[in-house]
Amino acid sequence: MEIQFVPGNLELLKTPYYADFFYENIIIYFNEEDTTDAVFQSAVHGTFLLKLGEALINLVKTKETQMVESIGTTISYRISQSDQTIYIVKYSGEEEIEKHLCQYDLFFEGLTLATKNYLHTIKRENPRIVLIDQYQLLASCFINFDQMRLLEFH
């Protein structure tokens, strides 16, 4: 499974206003067997990615269903685990609008790789971005998550 982060206005990183980059929108796509689905989206991606990372860490630790709310929309996500399957249910208000099922290992491997690629891409566009709190928090959240997974599988 390939997961891809597509942030809005990547060109903002090349300006003096690069710190505002984390207030742009993001769409997270899952690419599987000839299909590409926009699974997660948010109007403010820095805070959303941190909430998503924390929810996934809690899911791995506790195995309890996690809720993550998109920012700037009425969309929320319920993420749960059963055996070796991750269930992502997308809601608009109270109405269920989409379901995605992913194999546990492939989902977390894909998400970890996508996050690393995303962090490297924005760092390459503007190395000063690493000085921004949002970048450091996001990097530490997913590094912590990646290490937890490695310990879990060994």
Output the pTM of the full model: 0.86
| Alpha-carbon span 68 to 52, nearest angstrom | 6
13: tokens are 């990183």
Topology of 2-148 in CATH?
Secreted effector protein pipB2 fold (3.30.2450)
- Listing DSSP states for the chain in one string gives -EEEEEES-GGGGGSTTGGGGGGS-EEEEEEETTEEEEEEEESSHHHHHHHHHHHHHHHHHH---EEEEPSSSSEEEEEEEETTEEEEEEEETTEEEEEEEEEHHHHHHHHHHHHHHHHHHHHHH-GGGGGSHHHHHHHHHHHHHHHHHHHHH-
Which sequence spans correspond to the domains of the chain? Answer: 2-148
Spell out the residues 6+ positions from residue 147 whose beta carbon is closer than 8 angstroms to its own: none
Measured from the Cβ of residue 146, the count of other Cβ atoms closer than 10 Å reads: 17
| pLDDT attached to residue 154 | 42
Span 29-48, average pLDDT: 86
Span 8-24, average pLDDT: 91
Return the closest-CA partner of residue 113 out of 81, 142, 84, 136.
142
Span 53-80, average pLDDT: 92
pLDDT digits (tens, 9 = 90+) for 115-124: 889 999 999 9
Span 14-41, average pLDDT: 88
